[in-house]
């Protein structure tokens, strides 16, 4: 039996989490859930949106499943998600975006994986005022972080039978910082001759993804570009409600949907749980439960293709709980 840290999250988090737990149980995976509280719901009890017990649980169990969290305005955290990644050194953000038949989109046959460096770049938070009329943010790129994220991308490509890795940068303008990232990527690529390697300037990459996304496979990039382009890739396959995310380090991994907590929909039983369910699929793969992961993934694809027992954004009339129930029945059948 696996022991996994569980953070149900804020807003719609508890609803989509409960839906996901029922699906995992239906797939026959035995998990001991170590539930902890973070986000807005933790402030009243702990006085902080990120209690120490959350970090302690993740360090102990080394695997976590997390619903969306709200970062309260005025707290000490720029982002709870960023704080979790920094504290646990979850340096690799993995965001797959894949076409699901039945989802309305002008694009077909999309199968992209964004590998985003998670710990530095402008997200290091090193910024200050210069006088009263200017602000300065410092972009930090190191060889160590660049090397390990590019290596992660190539290792992912090898293990998952992917054929190409594309490094995304702005080294034509940011010659030192992005230049270092690109030089490091090229050096790492030489160690993986079986995987095709190329690089693209980030603005051109955005255009390429809109015009001919089928030409690309695994994309690796610094933090800010990854944040932006991973959402663009999600848009190609139907939106953030269908896309999972994983934050992986050498000592722990945290899996989550990439959308927000959507507080205005709290308790309305109308939110699509697919992104949270697919985050669980990534987690099950990480735990070595590939057979159960494929059963859930295939059942969800079949349910969406049928188009009946799904939420309104997918063309159906089901609520969150009803969609989860239909998925459970499909898995059991």
List active site positions: 123, 170, 203, 227
| Helices 290-306, 13-26: inter-axial angle, 10-degree rounding | 120
What percent of the chain is helix, strand and coil (3-state, nearest 5)? 45, 20, 35
Ordered DSSP codes for 63-77: EEEE------TTSS-
* Separation between Cα atoms, residue 218 and residue 197, nearest integer Å: 10
Tokens for 153, please give them.
């991308």
Beta-bridge partners for 32: 3
* Separation between Cα atoms, residue 194 and residue 146, nearest integer Å: 21
* Separation between Cα atoms, residue 211 and residue 107, nearest integer Å: 10
* Separation between Cα atoms, residue 100 and residue 102, nearest integer Å: 6
284, 331 Cβ separation under 8 angstroms: no
Place of tokens 């507080």: 263
* Separation between Cα atoms, residue 243 and residue 155, nearest integer Å: 22
Residue 133, CB-side half-sphere exposure with 13 Å CA sphere: 0
* Separation between Cα atoms, residue 249 and residue 145, nearest integer Å: 12
3-state secondary structure of 163: coil
Pairing of strands 63-66, 2-7: parallel
Cα 21 to Cα 268, 281, 303, distances in angstroms:
19, 11, 18
Three-state SS for 223-289 is HHHHHHHHHHHHHHCCCHHHCEEEEECCCCEEEEECCCCCHHHCCCCCCCCHHHHHHHHHHHHHCCC
């Amino acid at each position: 039996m696996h022991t996994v840290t569980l953070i149900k999250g804020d807003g719609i988090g508890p609803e989509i989490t409960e839906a996901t737990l029922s699906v995992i149980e239906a797939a026959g995976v035995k998990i001991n859930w170590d539930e902890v509280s973070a986000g807005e719901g933790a402030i009243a009890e702990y006085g902080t949106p990120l209690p120490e017990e959350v970090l302690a649980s993740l360090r102990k169990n080394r695997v976590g499943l997390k619903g969306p969290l709200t970062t309260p305005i005025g707290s000490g955290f720029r982002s709870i998600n960023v704080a979790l990644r920094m504290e646990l050194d979850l340096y690799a953000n993995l965001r797959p975006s894949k076409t699901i038949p039945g989802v309305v989109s002008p694009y077909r046959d999309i199968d992209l994986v964004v590998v985003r460096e998670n710990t530095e770049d402008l997200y290091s938070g090193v910024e200050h005022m210069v006088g009263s009329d200017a602000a300065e943010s410092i972009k930090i790129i190191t060889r160590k972080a660049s090397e390990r994220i590019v290596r992660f991308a190539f290792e992912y490509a090898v293990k998952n039978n992917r054929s190409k890795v594309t490094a995304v940068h702005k080294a034509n303008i940011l010659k030192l910082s992005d230049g270092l990232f690109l030089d490091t990527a090229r050096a790492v690529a030489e160690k993986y001759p079986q995987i095709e390697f190329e690089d693209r300037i980030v603005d051109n990459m955005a255009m390429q993804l809109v015009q001919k996304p089928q030409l690309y496979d695994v994309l690796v990039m610094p933090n800010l570009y990854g944040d932006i382009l991973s959402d663009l890739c999600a848009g190609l396959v139907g939106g953030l409600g269908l896309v999972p995310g994983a934050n992986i380090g050498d000592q722990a991994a945290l899996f989550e949907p990439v959308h927000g907590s959507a507080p205005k929909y709290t308790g309305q039983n109308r939110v699509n749980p697919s992104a949270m369910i697919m985050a669980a699929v990534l987690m099950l793969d990480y735990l070595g439960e590939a057979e159960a992961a494929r059963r859930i993934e295939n059942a969800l694809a079949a349910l969406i293709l049928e188009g009946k027992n799904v939420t309104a954004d997918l063309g159906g009339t089901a609520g969150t709980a009803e969609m989860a129930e239909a998925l459970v029945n499909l898995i059991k059948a």
